[in-house]
Each structure stands twice: as C-alpha cells, then as structure tokens.
Amino acid sequence: MNIEIKKTIKPIKYEEAIKFLEQRLIDINNNKKDDLIWFLEHEEIYTAGTSYKEEEILNRDINLIKTNRGGKITYHGPGQLICYFVIDLKQRNKDIRKFITLIEKTIIESLSEYNIDSFGDPKNIGIWIKDKTYIKKVAAIGVRVSKWVAYHGFAINISNDLGKYKNIVPCGILDRGVTNLKEINNQNYSCLSDVIINNFTKNLKN
C-alpha cells in the first residue's frame, strides 16, 4: 500500500484541488494510482459540507462553495495548512469510524510534538483545545467516502485570520470558538507537515 506524498507551495484554488482529488479517486478504484496525502494552502474561500444549514451563513456576500464532503461550513485561507488525502479503505478493513479516529489521533499526536494539548470530541468532529474555560477549534475535518475510498481531508489553523469566521457559524457550533496555533503558542510551525506525514503514515500501517 504505497502512498504518494505531495506538497504544493503556491496557493491552490479549491475547485482545482477537488477536481484533482476526484480524479485520483477514479484512478485508485481502477488500480492506476497509489493512495495520496497532499499538503497545500487555499486562496480565501468558504465551503459548505452536506449537512450545513442556510442560517449558518451570517454574511451573504461571502464566496461560498457547496461541496460533497461531510460536515458544515468552514473557512479556508492563507495561514492554514490543508491536508488532503485519497485513501483506499478496502485495504484497511472498510472501517470509516476507525479511519476518522486515525485522523484525529494523527493531528493530536502531531500537535503534542509542539507541546500543544488538543483533543477530539465524539459529538463535534474536529480537534479542539481548552483555553481557560472556553473550548476552541484548531483543526477541522471533512471526509467523504466513495466505493470505500476516503477523500477530502483536514485543515489546521496556523496563522490564519480568525476574523473571517465571524461571517459564518463555524461547523454549525454556536457555543465554541476558533483559534490557531500561533495564538496558542507563537513558535515555528514550518515543519508541521513533515510531522503529520510521519504520524499519518505510521498510523495507517497499524
């Protein structure tokens, strides 16, 4: 089960990235390509998953794209690390819940290497941190599965503009906030993608 690792420095338009993922999905199902883990950054965009509600859009002037991933509305933009993947679950016992838990574990382990204590929540998908008495999201997760191939990915906030989340109800959750790694601990995160690769590939082998 080989995995192609791809890193793109220049910001990628959301539509172009999804088109690439969907083609890789077809290629994997036809046994033409290996699994993929792809790191990139998006230009500014809001995306709505399959379970979003219209009232979660607080500013009707934003550029919103409806997608086929799971989840609700989130924001992508500069200062955010996107990790997309196309992973064949037919080679991994066809267990979607286990795969999502694996993603959560990967992010939590990676952030712990930067001395950041984070956690998952069975009721609210994503990765969270506790800031005094307030809980804030630091990473969003959105997954779709087609013919037992999982794709889309997760986004970790590093230094992105948190003010952009005021235009939406992030992930449909009213009583929690959003933060980024620089706000939690202002340190160098330039190697975060490499840390994630190590943990992700290790966890996929288990």
pLDDT in tens, 175-190: 789 999 999 999 999 9
Give the helix/strand (H/E) hosting 84: strand 80-88
Catalytic status, residue 171:
yes
pTM of the model: 0.94
Predicted confidence band of residue 171 (pLDDT cuts 50, 70, 90): confident
pLDDT-wise least confident of 1-5, 57-61, 169-173: 169-173
**Do residues 81 and 41 make contact, with C-beta atoms less than 8 angstroms apart?**
yes
Residue that wins the pLDDT comparison between 68 and 1: 68
Segment 163-177 shows an average pLDDT of: 86
Cα–Cα distance, 145 to 88 (Å, whole number): 9
Give the pLDDT confidence score for residue 65 in this predicted structure: 94
Domains of the chain as residue ranges with CATH:
3-205 (3.30.930.10)
Packing angle of the helix pair 192-205, 96-112 (nearest 10 deg): 140
Catalytic one of 17, 171, 178, 181 = 171
Q: Does the pLDDT of residue 1 top 80, yes or no?
A: no
- β-pair partners for 155: 82, 140
Q: Which region holds residue 119: left if phi is over 0, alpha if psi is between -120 and 50, else beta?
A: beta
